[in-house]
Amino acid sequence: TQLLEQSPQFLSIQEGENLTVYCNSSSVFSSLQWYRQEPGEGPVLLVTVVTGGEVKKLKRLTFQFGDARKDSSLHITAAQPGDTGLYLCAGRDNFNKFYFGSGTKLNVKP
């Protein structure tokens, strides 16, 4: 059982569409990070959120940390083929242990 559950697991959309990926847990995290991983590469950090209710924007990507710091979402506006990849959320708990979510595989078709 994953401590961090991501949904959906797979997402295939057309270029220009919007999408939201969710990361949920029953545990509280002191911080949460989102990564994107491309085939054959290691994950690359997109953002870190540390405050409950925090919203961060990175160009077309909007990240939100839940008020209770148990969940997060990643919203992509007007998706592009370059957004294709595996999106991973990762949380650090109060014991400083790091957990990764199950991942969402996104495919954006031109």
Q: Does 66 bind other proteins (CB under 8 A)?
A: no
Which one of residues 14, 40, 82, 110 is an interface residue with other proteins (CB under 8 A)? 40
Given the DSSP bridges, would you call strands 10-14 and 104-109 parallel, antiparallel or unpaired? parallel
Q: Does 31 bind other proteins (CB under 8 A)?
A: yes
Q: Does 2 bind other proteins (CB under 8 A)?
A: yes
Q: What beta strand segments (E) does 1-110 contain?
A: 5-7, 10-14, 19-24, 31-37, 44-49, 55-58, 61-65, 71-76, 85-92, 98-100, 104-109
Q: Does 68 bind other proteins (CB under 8 A)?
A: no
Stretch that binds other proteins, among 20-28, 54-62, 66-74, 95-103 (CB under 8 A): 95-103
Which one of residues 23, 25, 36, 43 is an interface residue with other proteins (CB under 8 A)? 43
Q: Would you state the structure tokens that stand for residue 29, as one six-digit string?
A: 């995290």
Tokens 């949904």 -> residue: 7
Minimum Å gap between C-beta 15 and other proteins is 27
Judge whether 75 and 62 are in contact, CB under 8 Å.
yes
Q: Of 26 and 96, which CB lies nearer to other proteins in the complex structure? A: 96
Minimum Å gap between C-beta 80 and other proteins is 23
